[in-house]
Chain A
Amino acid sequence: MMNNKERYQKAFNTIDPSTDITPERIMELKENRKMTKGRVGFRKTLVSLVAAVVLVIGVTGGAYAADLGGFRTNVNTWLYGEPVQVDIEEIGEGDFIVHYPNGVDRQTGGNSFDKDGNPVPFTADDVIDSLDYPEIATIDGKVIMFYKNEQVDITEDVKDGKAEVTFKPGAMKLYVTVDWTDEYTYSVHTEQSLF
């Protein structure tokens, strides 16, 4: 009869990574990272001290159920420096779609964490709080960070797939770390102070 350790190891030995993960693939990843540094992220991770949310940006042409939960309309926010009003639709527990007026929808799903580290699904209010995090775009070869109606060129700050930027919109100082995971994904971590 197996002991717990043997049982555990036997179960996990049944799962294997894809055979596509090879040293050659890692080298491709490295080269791609070089070439795509600073490209527009289609998914961005927004992290605050206790909560986090990821937005997946994509055009959604398909139908979706409109009766799956709360629906917030006319929420004021920004899209790459322009003021916009969005509608926020709850499509499942902790999962939302933010509808922008230009036809772009962003899917967002997330959890905050309680004191024991257990996930608590986001609410519409959490999503609203996350809307004004910095956005990154590549325009004419420049990496631009947008924050509300302001923008700053961070091209020179991008090193090894990361950028650390201090941004001072108004009286507030914003410390922003951008970390590109792959060509489509970047994370934005922010801390802020009044001075």
Chain B
Amino acid sequence: MKKALDEVMKDYLSSVFRVSYAILNDKHDAEDIAQETFLQYYLTTEDFESDEHIRRWLLLVAVNRSKNLVKSAWKRKREPMENLEEMGNTVVFQTREDRDLLEAVAELPLKCRTIIHLFYYEEYKIKEIAEMLDISENTVKSQLARGRSLLKAKLREEWNDE
């Protein structure tokens, strides 16, 4: 049940872009990854079983492409703060807390960023993240704990104890 590209982009473009942004901390790179991900969707012969299957497939492609880009080590000469400011008119942070949280996520180790985002933004369970990323549940739990601890240290009262 492969759905039309425009329908899939309407439903998942934001999610694909945001998971890429969580990993890359670069709006332009995240947009590139989103475009490549949807092109790959258009070209794939994958036999999708459900909407959820499509969603997971897209997120996984975006995650893998984003990680590859990080590991290819292309570093734009741009600091996180500059990057956020560069978004200019397209982003209006309602609060300083929103901005602080994005910066804190950007400073997490690479392994943590993906897991934290899939858990907190996409609301996947630990078992589901382990299946998606083909890692053990214990690894997901330990990376989640590490990420939470680092976010708490960075954000202090802006991040609750769990």
Contact = CB atoms under 8 A, between A and B. Distances in A.
Interface of A: 3-5, 7-12, 14-18, 21-23, 25-27, 29-30, 33, 43, 45, 47, 51-54, 92, 94-95, 109-113, 116-119, 122, 160, 181-182, 187
Given A8-B121, A52-B73, A110-B73, 4 more contacts: A12-B18, A12-B22, A14-B92, A18-B31
B49 interface: no
Contacts of A9: 120-121
Interface stretch (B52-60, B97-105, B125-133, B134-142): B97-105
A95 to B, nearest CB: 6
Q: Which 8 A-B pairs have the closest CB atoms?
A: A110-B73, A8-B120, A17-B17, A54-B74, A11-B101, A11-B98, A45-B72, A52-B73
B111 interface: yes
Contacts of A15: 17-18, 21, 27, 87, 91, 102
Interface in B88-127: 90-94, 97-99, 101-102, 109-111, 116-117, 120-121, 123
A134 to B, nearest CB: 15
24 contacts: A4-B159, A4-B162, A7-B101, A8-B120, A9-B121, A11-B97, A11-B99, A12-B21, A12-B102, A14-B91, A15-B21, A16-B90, A16-B91, A17-B31, A21-B38, A26-B5, A30-B43, A45-B72, A54-B75, A109-B73, A109-B74, A110-B75, A117-B110, A181-B32
A29 B35 CA distance: 8
A118 B35 contact: no
B91 A187 contact: no
A146 B101 CA distance: 46
A95 B75 contact: yes
Nearest to A110: B73
Nearest to A4: B160
B30 A17 contact: yes
* Chain B interface residue bracket vs A: 35 or more
Contacts of B92: 14
Contacts of B97: 7, 11
A111 B74 CA distance: 8
B9 interface: yes
Nearest to B7: A23
Nearest to B30: A17
A52 B34 CA distance: 23
Contacts of B148: 4
Contact of B73 (A3, A17, A119, A160): A119
Nearest to B84: A15
Contacts of A8: 101, 116, 120-121
B85 interface: no
Given A7-B158, A10-B98, A15-B21, A117 B75 contact: no
B75 A11 contact: no
A7 B90 contact: no
